[in-house]
Amino acid sequence: MYVRRSFEEPPVHPEHVGVHESEVTFSVMECSSQRGKRKLVSSNGFTYVYKRFNPSKQTTIWRCSVRNKTSTCPAIVVPWVQSFVSNESNHSHQAKPGIDKALVINTKDPRCKLDNY
């Protein structure tokens, strides 16, 4: 079953995740982006930032956090049952294994905590 979001984003299919869903875990880290926003961190070394909320499907769309002058990664993930699935676009960069343990959380802010999925 394909999940369609809008005309600008490719369809999402669980088989296109790249690794088995049971192997990858995701955590939402509060206050971990450069602007103090939430970041979705995968155990396979990729990080995602909030893109938008889809009110019709009641889901949050996350885009890859790698965006700069030379590289714009097209990968996005959306919640699917108790995990996440990605779009058909692969990451345009290498993963950073251990990034889930390397991110620093600002502990002075009470909103900053780790929520596991």
What does the pLDDT look like over 38-91, one tens digit per residue? 888 888 888 999 899 988 888 889 999 888 888 888 898 888 777 788 877 788
Residue 1 domain flag: no
Residue 47 domain flag: yes
- Strands 59-64 and 47-54 turn out to be antiparallel
Residue 9 domain flag: no
Q: What is the CATH number of the domain that holds 57?
A: 2.20.25
Residue 108 domain flag: no
Residue 111 domain flag: no
Q: Which residue segment(s) compose the domain that 95 sits in?
A: 14-103
Count of domains observed in the chain: 1
As a dihedral over the C-alpha atoms of residue 4, residue 6, residue 10, residue 11, rounded to 10 degrees, the angle is: 0
Residue 30 domain flag: yes
- pTM equals 0.64
Residue 35 domain flag: yes
